[in-house]
Structure 1
Amino acid sequence: MTTPPASEAPLLNRRDGAVAHLRFNRPQVLNAIDAGMAGAFLSACKSIAGDASVRAVVISGEGRAFMAGGDIASFGEGPQAIADTLIAPMHEALQILAGLRAPVIASVQGAVAGAGMSLALACDLAIAADDARFNLAYVKLGTSCDLGASWNLPRIVGLRRALEIALLSDGIDAAEALRLGLVNKVVPAAALEAETQRLAARLADGAPAAQGMLKRLMRDALGHDFPAQLQAERQGFAACAATADFSEGVAAFLEKRPARYTGG
């Protein structure tokens, strides 16, 4: 089987130094997910997980939308086929991303709907163009959500507001998304790529062990009682303090210079 040209591949996967870029590439259907895209996304996430040189990950969409959800044209294959060929690989990919030491950034524009919104919520940080429009949308198709929306959304906005967003599925513009905490920053559409790259480069310069530990602590916190979380923090600090990057960070602070983290 021949590999399609990069311009025709459902997912574009490139590196910019320590930053990995995964870009959904079905702009003709607003990057709606089909089985091919889901499989490519999982494969790329597995590759990133095995590459210690990746220090930040950016997930974006080609064209005028980040992602308009699942490809409804393929839903006629039946619920089991959708679960096996679309939802299962995407869920596996999201578990990989959550477990990475590298921070994961969603860079979104235009339609951020259904699975696209779920995916943006699953990332560690999100930056949005001012033309972004969010809609969970699942209930409009007579179904419940996937890609972790039911786990992430209540943790970001609270249970009552999460239920409102899910059950009513009203559109949310970029300014409201920022107010609700669905995104970390809103920028002019023309500046989205540059601002995303600036944020990714800043994160890629950080200490990987510390960033990974912070991700784990934050994501696990609501499943722990307070004493258990304090113990996890103590163990996490001890693990980070044993790294060369911790020694570098302390030395840089005392010497009043920028730290140069190597991942050691």
Structure 2
Amino acid sequence: MSAAAEEPVLIHIAEGVAALTLNRPDRMNAINGQLSRALNRALDTASRSPEVRVILLQGAGRGFCAGADAQVLDEYAADPKAPNSGSGRLRYGELMRLPKPVIAAVHGACAGVGLALACCADIRLAASSAFFLAPFAGLGLSAEVGLGWLLPRLVGTGSAMDMLLGGQRLTADDARSIGLVRHVFPEATFMQEARAYAVRLAASGAPAALRLIKQQVYDAWGQDFATAEEAALRLTFQTLESPDFTEAMAARRQKRPPVFAAVTSPFLSSG
């Protein structure tokens, strides 16, 4: 096996898409410190790259992510204050602040902190094999990684309570019915369909516009309509004066594809 194949996160950049693959298939891509640190680095690479317009998160093997690694949980159970392999401080919520759209492509298990990771993506796609599980109450834990705040905003309070309190598995179709996932694709063609969706999104508009619209949506969660409307008006005039709008209109007149400026930004601080 090559050294690259043993990396906890694989990264492949093509057609404007950075495919980041959680690569612990023997552990159902369960999250430990090594994987967390590797995913932080991969997200930083994708966020800084001018070639990348969209980030696609996926899992190797039989599932997306089964949650926290059992070894980490066992170490905490033995002594919460003792040194352990830890989480590696994966910056889940920062996915929503990344300047590029993030898609979670979920097949098989998506549980625990793996569910939190998927929920922090901007769009979720599911294979027909996917299932979603919030097992926290059964483990005597709180809803981790801000899921008590995030899930009600994604699926509504009732569905969030059902998932978090009841701890029942949701099938891919169940998840689609409550709005947790956008599309469900057959297992046999899922990876190809998810990648095609990401490529289409990468080609859909100016990277700066994708960044701005993503920011607008998340900013609006904490705003009333009047504030959001005022911000939208200000941003509309700002973008009407942008080079991207000028280029888009010129390309339309000249019947050619537009050439937009790239967006780059660090995910990790340099300090």
For normalisation by structure 1, the TM-score amounts to 0.89
Contact 1:58 1:106 (C-alpha < 8 Å) held by counterparts: yes
| 1:209 aligned partner | 208
What is the SS of the residue equivalent to 2:245? helix
| 1:67 aligned partner | 65
CA-based RMSD: 2.2
Change over 3 Å in CA distance of 1:12–1:235 after alignment to 2: same
Alignment partners' CA distance in 2, 1:77 and 1:21 = 32
Structure 2: runs of 5 or more not aligned = 263-271
How far is the alpha carbon of 1:251 from its aligned partner?
3.9
How far is the alpha carbon of 1:160 from its aligned partner?
2.1
How far is the alpha carbon of 1:258 from its aligned partner?
6.4
Residue of 30, 47, 50 corresponding to 1:49? 47
| 1:194 aligned partner | 192
Task: For CA contacts below 8 A with separation 6 or more, give which structure has more relative contact order.
Answer: 2
How far is the alpha carbon of 1:82 from its aligned partner?
8.9
Query: What is the letter of the counterpart of residue 109 of structure 1?
Result: H
Percent of aligned positions that are identical: 34
The structure that is helix-richer by fraction is 1
| 1:140 aligned partner | 138
How far is the alpha carbon of 1:83 from its aligned partner?
10
Alignment partners' CA distance in 2, 1:211 and 1:67 = 27
How far is the alpha carbon of 1:146 from its aligned partner?
2.4
What is the SS of the residue equivalent to 1:223? coil
Alignment partners' CA distance in 1, 2:85 and 2:261 = 37
Q: Counterparts of 1:83-94 in structure 2 under 5 Å?
A: 85-86=86-87, 89-90=89-90, 92=91, 94=92
Structure 1: runs of 5 or more not aligned = none
What is the SS of the residue equivalent to 1:233? helix
What is the SS of the residue equivalent to 2:144? coil
| 1:170 aligned partner | 168
Q: Which moved more, 1:32-41 or 1:134-143?
A: 134-143
Contact 1:25 1:61 (C-alpha < 8 Å) held by counterparts: yes
What is the SS of the residue equivalent to 2:103? strand
How far is the alpha carbon of 1:199 from its aligned partner?
1.0
Alignment partners' CA distance in 2, 1:243 and 1:20 = 26
| 2:222 aligned partner | 223
Alignment partners' CA distance in 1, 2:252 and 2:178 = 35
Contact 1:69 1:115 (C-alpha < 8 Å) held by counterparts: yes
Query: What is the letter of the counterpart of residue 58 of structure 1?
Result: L
Deviation by residue 1:223-259 (Cα, 9 ceiling, x = unmatched) = 112221112212322332232221233345566x464
Alignment partners' CA distance in 1, 2:200 and 2:173 = 24
Alignment partners' CA distance in 1, 2:116 and 2:31 = 12
For normalisation by structure 2, the TM-score amounts to 0.87
Q: Which moved more, 1:180-189 or 1:231-240?
A: 231-240
Task: Provide the aligned length of Structure 1 versus Structure 2.
Answer: 257
Query: What is the letter of the counterpart of residue 219 of structure 1?
Result: Y
